[in-house]
């Protein structure tokens, strides 16, 4: 498993897209001084990436002869400092960002939020640590160093005899332990925001600006894919850090009231959703480009020109993904050291919930976007498809199953497979010989329909006796559809599914969720390529079995920490559609 980077939390972490770590120093010590010609407005000219001697080829040779490798494993100043503290007898604590589940008795398992004593940080990727009586190796990128290293394992305030709180330990001019801890957290929030702004500025000015002047190397579409909306994020964060600094009390940081800033910008932070959803595409495009030497050296020259630390571009571009996930962690720690009587307490409490909701919304949108590829592949497996693609109006499969459909005028009953998406219900027929093959028959626009529960007995509209039945009736016309389930519990699941469909449509309208035309076309194109490459067109039996056994993936009101902050978790090896389609379907049979 590739480990996630915690760049903004702990700058010296291995990022998952290259084997490089920052050295904390600019790359110096070259045999010859490299000069990158810059035209008047600061962009590279057409002959860019030349040195004092002259040619682009000489520059490439200079990279090689200096034993420099793009994204090479560097040293670690902070890692060295950690080991020095440990060797001096100091206790160093780290807090788990994600669950680490392991079957290896040499590894240390833990859950998100656990506090680990770091005993050895010699290796930059795996550290040795202890939790209670257990010791073992754990991935360094799964943790963040605690802001308050002098904090004891148990929570403050300390307890004394009689159960009363002992807040007598003080730092400096009458400042309590809890106040000092709050000061540390406030200082971390402010300092990391300033560092983050510098980081975004370096990307926008050091990379994007230079790339735009190289029309021979990059198209605007490529730049949009690589950098997403990071310029919008930069503008948003500049305003946010100014708001934070206005609320920052330099003389007494623990008195700062920063909670209101997060509440004010919670809606604007939703722009991270677009960036996070695009990030996998950025990684793929960078991976493709960096197979060509001239792009490798171009990106490295941009980094050197901007005097950025030694991380390759894909590592820099991961930071916004993790930044939005870090806010709830920081606010949770800030709330921990904020007294209920503090003027900032209610705002921090509300801000924590708000930023968790932002992270949850981003995770939900990410899941929805991942689903559209599966929906496109599902459609490509259906025979005799007619009309517009499912993705034109829908992006979520709510529920599916088999029902008897009764039609006018003969009140004839037909067994059909139904797939309920947001905005539409798709009807398919099973092949008579191969029951795993589905044929498209029709669809119903759910925006025009209302669902009606039907009691067992004779139905007046169709003049037939029914059991476990319900209707869909058009609000504008006299169109009525009658359905019967085999069992009462199946009927209840369908009734619940129709409620969930309407709720999902309303939620999408409220949050502004939508799939772009480019994303829809790309999903259908990918599905078409897979089909032509030999993907089975028939729906396999495992797919059908999975389809009928699932629970509805509703978003719970409260998510455990490791789920809320899942965006920067390690990527698992992708499995094929026929194994993953089960995630699309809702209830358990």
* Whether the predicted pLDDT of 155 surpasses 80: no
- Say what the pLDDT of residue 554 is: 38
Residue 103 DSSP class: -
404 with 365, same domain: the answer is no
Question: Cis before residue 344, ω within 30 degrees of 0?
Answer: no
CATH code of the domain covering residue 416: 2.30.29.30
- Say what the pLDDT of residue 181 is: 87
501 with 409, same domain: the answer is yes
242 with 97, same domain: the answer is no
Task: Establish if 564 belongs to a structural domain.
Answer: no
408 with 463, same domain: the answer is yes
Percent of the chain with pLDDT over 90: 41
Quickly state the pLDDT bin for 532 (edges 50, 70, 90): low
pLDDT, tens only, 205-236: 999 999 999 999 999 999 999 999 999 999 99
Q: Which residue has the higher pLDDT, 11 or 391?
A: 391
Mean pLDDT computed over 523-527: 86
- Say what the pLDDT of residue 398 is: 93
Residue ranges making up the domain that contains 329 = 179-371
Q: Alpha helix (H) ranges present in 290-344?
A: 293-306, 313-336
pLDDT, tens only, 256-277: 999 999 999 998 998 998 898 8
Instruction: Tell me if 17 sits within 8 A of 305, measured CB to CB.
Output: no
Task: Establish if 107 belongs to a structural domain.
Answer: yes
Task: Establish if 288 belongs to a structural domain.
Answer: yes
Least confident of 70-74, 151-155, 392-396, 497-501: 70-74
Residue 276 DSSP class: H
pLDDT, tens only, 376-408: 999 999 999 999 999 999 999 999 999 999 877
Mean pLDDT computed over 406-418: 83
Residue 102 DSSP class: -
- Using the 3D structure, point to which of 457, 479, 513 is the last residue of a domain: 513
CATH code of the domain covering residue 329: 1.20.900.10
Mean pLDDT computed over 307-320: 88
128 with 214, same domain: the answer is no
Instruction: Tell me if 142 sits within 8 A of 125, measured CB to CB.
Output: no
Residue 21 DSSP class: B
* Whether the predicted pLDDT of 559 surpasses 80: no
400 with 364, same domain: the answer is no
Instruction: Tell me if 155 sits within 8 A of 336, measured CB to CB.
Output: yes
* Backbone φ/ψ region at 136: left (φ over 0), alpha (ψ -120 to 50), beta: left
* Whether the predicted pLDDT of 302 surpasses 80: yes
- Total number of domains constituting the chain: 3
Whole-number Å distance between alpha carbons of 524 and 391:
9
Closest among 56, 57, 68 to 31, alpha carbons compared: 68
Task: Establish if 361 belongs to a structural domain.
Answer: yes
Residue 70 DSSP class: T
- Using the 3D structure, point to which of 463, 490, 513 is the last residue of a domain: 513
Closest among 388, 373, 294, 410 to 535, alpha carbons compared: 373
Task: Establish if 43 belongs to a structural domain.
Answer: no
Half-sphere exposure at residue 91, Cβ-oriented, CA atoms within 13 angstroms: 12
Whole-number Å distance between alpha carbons of 380 and 396:
16
140 with 280, same domain: the answer is no
CA dist 232 to 236, 271, 275, 280, 367, Å? Answer: 6, 8, 10, 19, 23
- Using the 3D structure, point to which of 496, 513, 530 is the last residue of a domain: 513
427 with 494, same domain: the answer is yes
Report residue 109 CA to chain centroid gap.
23
For the chain, the average pLDDT equals: 75
Quickly state the pLDDT bin for 176 (edges 50, 70, 90): low
Dump the DSSP string for 206-241.
IIIHHHHT-TTT--HHHHHHHHTTHHHHHHHHHHHH
Max intra-chain CA distance, the chain: 93
Q: Where are the beta strands (DSSP E) in 23-139?
A: 92-96, 115-120, 126-131, 134-139
* Whether the predicted pLDDT of 545 surpasses 60: no
247 with 306, same domain: the answer is yes
Contacts of 519 (CB under 8 A, 6+ apart): 369, 372
* Whether the predicted pLDDT of 28 surpasses 50: no
Task: Quote the crossing angle between the two packed helices 177-201 and 313-336, to the nearest 10°.
Answer: 160
- Say what the pLDDT of residue 531 is: 65
- Say what the pLDDT of residue 97 is: 75
Quickly state the pLDDT bin for 367 (edges 50, 70, 90): confident
361 with 447, same domain: the answer is no
* Whether the predicted pLDDT of 510 surpasses 90: no
Quickly state the pLDDT bin for 301 (edges 50, 70, 90): very high
Quickly state the pLDDT bin for 543 (edges 50, 70, 90): very low
- Say what the pLDDT of residue 246 is: 93
217 with 98, same domain: the answer is no
pLDDT, tens only, 441-485: 999 999 999 999 999 998 888 888 999 999 999 988 878 999 999
405 with 367, same domain: the answer is no
CATH code of the domain covering residue 121: 2.30.30.40
Half-sphere exposure at residue 18, Cβ-oriented, CA atoms within 13 angstroms: 25
- Say what the pLDDT of residue 419 is: 96
């Amino acid at each position: 498993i590739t480990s996630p980077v915690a760049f903004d939390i702990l700058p010296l972490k291995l990022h998952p897209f290259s084997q490089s770590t920052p050295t904390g120093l600019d790359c110096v010590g070259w045999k010859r001084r490299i000069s990158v010609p810059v035209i008047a407005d600061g962009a590279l000219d057409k002959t860019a990436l030349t040195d004092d001697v002259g040619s682009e080829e000489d520059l490439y040779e200079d990279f090689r002869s200096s034993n420099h490798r793009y994204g090479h494993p560097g040293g670690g100043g902070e890692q060295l400092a950690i080991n020095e503290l440990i060797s001096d007898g100091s206790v160093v604590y780290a807090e788990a960002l994600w669950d680490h589940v392991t079957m290896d008795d040499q590894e240390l398992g833990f859950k998100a939020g656990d506090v680990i004593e770091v005993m050895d940080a010699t290796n930059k990727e795996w550290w040795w640590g202890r939790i209670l009586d257990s010791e073992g190796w754990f991935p360094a990128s799964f943790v963040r160093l605690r802001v308050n290293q002098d904090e004891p394992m148990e929570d403050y305030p300390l307890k004394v005899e009689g159960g009363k709180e002992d807040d007598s330990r003080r730092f400096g001019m009458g400042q309590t332990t809890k106040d000092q801890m709050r000061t540390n957290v406030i200082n971390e929030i402010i300092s990391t925001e300033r560092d983050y702004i510098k980081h975004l500025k370096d990307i926008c000015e050091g990379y994007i600006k230079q790339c735009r002047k190289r029309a021979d190397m990059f198209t605007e579409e490529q730049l949009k894919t690589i950098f997403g909306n990071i310029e919008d994020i930069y503008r948003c964060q500049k305003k946010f850090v100014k708001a934070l600094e206005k609320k920052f009390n330099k003389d007494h940081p623990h008195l700062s009231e920063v909670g209101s800033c997060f509440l004010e910008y919670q809606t604007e932070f939703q722009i991270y959703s677009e960036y996070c959803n695009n990030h996998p595409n950025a990684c793929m495009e960078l991976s493709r480009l960096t197979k060509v030497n001239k792009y490798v050296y171009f990106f490295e020259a941009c980094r050197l020109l901007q005097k950025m630390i030694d991380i390759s571009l894909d590592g820099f571009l991961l930071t916004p993904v993790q930044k939005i996930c870090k806010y709830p962690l920081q606010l949770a720690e800030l709330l921990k050291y904020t007294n209920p009587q503090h003027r900032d307490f209610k705002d921090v409490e509300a801000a924590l919930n708000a930023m968790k909701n932002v992270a949850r919304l981003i995770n939900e949108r990410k899941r929805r976007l991942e689903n559209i590829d599966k929906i496109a592949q599902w459609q490509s497996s259906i025979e005799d498809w007619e009309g517009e693609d499912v993705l034109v109006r829908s992006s979520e499969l709510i529920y599916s199953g088999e029902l008897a459909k009764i039609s006018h005028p003969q009140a004839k009953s037909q067994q059909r497979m139904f797939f309920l998406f947001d905005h539409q219900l798709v009807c398919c027929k099973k092949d008579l010989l191969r029951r795993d093959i589905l044929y498209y028959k029709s669809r119903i626009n759910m925006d025009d329909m209302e669902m009606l529960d039907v009691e067992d007995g004779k139905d007046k509209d169709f003049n037939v006796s029914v059991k476990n039945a319900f209707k869909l009736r058009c609000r504008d016309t006299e169109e009525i559809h009658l359905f019967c389930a085999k069992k009462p519990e199946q009927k209840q699941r369908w009734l619940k599914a129709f409620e969930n469909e309407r709720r999902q449509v309303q939620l999408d309208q409220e949050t502004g969720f939508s799939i772009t035309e480019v994303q829809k076309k790309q999903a259908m194109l990918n599905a078409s390529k897979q089909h032509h490459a030999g993907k089975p067109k028939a729906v396999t039996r495992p797919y059908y079995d999975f389809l009928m056994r699932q629970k509805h993936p509703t978003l719970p009101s409260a998510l455990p920490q490791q789920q809320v902050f899942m965006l920067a978790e390690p990527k698992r090896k992708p499995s094929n559609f026929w194994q993953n389609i089960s995630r699309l379907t809702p209830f358990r049979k």
